[in-house]
Amino acid sequence: MTACALKQQLQSDMKSTMKSGDKARLAVIRLILAAIKQVEVDERIEVDDARVNAVLDKMAKQRRESISQFEKAGRQDLIEIEQAELDMLQDYLPEALSDNEIEQLISAAIEKTGASEIRQMGQVMGILKPQLQGRADMGKVSQLIKNRLGAN
């Protein structure tokens, strides 16, 4: 299996961050590497870039959900911590797609599957998830698909 470039990048960044003394960034990089290692141990696999992106996407989603909860609770101090971690996670995620690009991919997936009703949403998501993982908020994508299939 080929070496995972993203994982190697994280390990390299961890070393340089240790030298620079940026403790907050080092903590986030260690969290990411620990999550990757957990997947490797649990599934007895060597991760590839796509799997690392899935781990990063999951971690980013957790941070967004935490920020939402902290906003409801009025905890600005915790919001700032989570936002800083989210910003660092996004440094390693692929560049986010624009709304227009997401709409085009949704249209292509609906056309490819021939989906016309909400029951076929799983087929559309099955095609889109590998293309959008880490590049778009899947909750938002899901809502856009529901709107499209519900309107037909």
> pLDDT digit string (tens) for 9-22?
999 999 999 999 99
CATH 1.10.10.410 fits 99-151, yes or no: yes
| pTM of the full structure | 0.74
Domain ranges of the chain: 5-90, 99-151
Q: What pLDDT does 151 receive?
A: 55
CATH 1.10.1510.10 fits 5-90, yes or no: yes
Q: What is the dihedral of CA 60, 66, 69, 70, to 10 degrees?
A: -120
Q: What pLDDT does 152 receive?
A: 47
State the chain's mean pLDDT as an integer. 88
| CA 132 vs CA 12, 94, 109, 141: distances in Å | 26, 10, 12, 9
DSSP label of 95? P
Of residues 16 and 129, the one with the higher pLDDT is 16
pLDDT in tens, 20-78: 999 999 999 999 999 999 999 999 988 888 888 889 989 998 999 999 999 999 999 99
Q: What pLDDT does 1 receive?
A: 38
